[in-house]
Amino acid sequence: MARAATTSDVFNAIAERQRREILVLLRAGEGAVTELAEELGMTQPGASKHLRVLREVGLVRDRKAGKQRLYGLDARGLRPVHEWTGGFEWFWNESFDRLDAYVQDLKGASRGTG
Amino acid sequence: MARAATTSDVFNAIAERQRREILVLLRAGEGAVTELAEELGMTQPGASKHLRVLREVGLVRDRKAGKQRLYGLDARGLRPVHEWTGGFEWFWNESFDRLDAYVQDLKGASRGTG
DNA sequence: TTGACGTATGCCGATATAGGTATATGATGT
DNA sequence: ACATCATATACCTATATCGGCATACGTCAA
């Protein structure tokens, strides 16, 4: 079995750095495919394919504007990712409470582990 | 070119559902490979491979405990993901300010887009 | 219709994956 | 050393990727 499709999940969609960069760019406002491609230093088909993935997971919307097709951010799909990682916030905030002793334990027990 | 390695990035590492489930399980405390494999309904080698990925990106630490090898959560690596997605929080919280008009615009302009 | 522009898709090659099975490695106890 | 248990790795198959190039598709203007 191969890795899950990039379109199966927002997690998979944003695993690609270029796609994350596209999303960041789109925070500034809508952009046409060619613009985005140029700003990210990739080919037009490349940008188009990435935008397709982002569109299929709902992170991006498009509208026609003359000959162009403007892509705009719809970041609501990122919320689950934010919340999921937020479920671990405790583990890096309170890392001096319970976690600290645990980490010390790890370090003492196996020195050349990581 | 293929997709980036799962070990290249925390984003890539957590793109896999089973790995996310492992992390969730480990919130309850350390666990041995066999335990995790059983709880997640996967084979021991399968769990071991996923744990290897998580270890290589630093989301998990291991320590020897007798014959067993206990894996523990080190969720600090999830913080960048949380913060990155947090950079888009504005876009789902204030979606009635600037974004709303924009989305309406999208809906009106292209009905059968998605 | 023709032309020009913008975008999407098809095909290809190379690569890294996830899952399974068998087996090697490591650690413990006798 | 040996047997036993726990874990990691090697090998395999099938698959989905990402990137590039060529080209089809869509849209607008004359």
Query: What CA–CA distance (Å, rounded) separates B87 from B73?
Result: 25
**Cα Rg of chain A (Å, integer):** 20
The spacing between the Cα labelled CA in A103 and the C1' in D17, in angstroms, equals: 37
pLDDT in tens, chain A (114 residues): 889 999 999 999 999 999 999 999 999 999 999 999 999 999 999 999 999 999 999 999 999 999 999 999 999 999 999 999 999 998 887 654 455 555 544 444 443 332
DSSP H/E element including B46: helix B44-56
Q: Residue B92: list chain A partners with CB under 8 A.
A: 75-76, 78-79
Q: What's the whole-model pTM score?
A: 0.84
CA distance B88 to chain A (A): 6
B110: nearest CB among A62, A75, A79: A62
| Among chain A residues, CA nearest to B23 | A88
- Interval B9-40: pLDDT, tens: 999 999 999 999 999 999 999 999 999 999 99
Question: Min CA distance, B78 vs chain A (Å)?
Answer: 6
Which of B25, B2, B66, B62 has its CA nearest to residue A87? B25
B63 and A89 within 8 Å at the Cβ level: the answer is no
Tell the burial category of B75 from Cβ atoms under 10 Å away from its Cβ (0-12, 13-18, 19+): buried
Q: How far apart are CA A63 and CA B109, in angstroms?
A: 6
Tokens of B40: 């997640």
Classify residue A71 as exposed, middle or buried by CB count within 10 Å of its CB (0-12, 13-18, 19+): buried
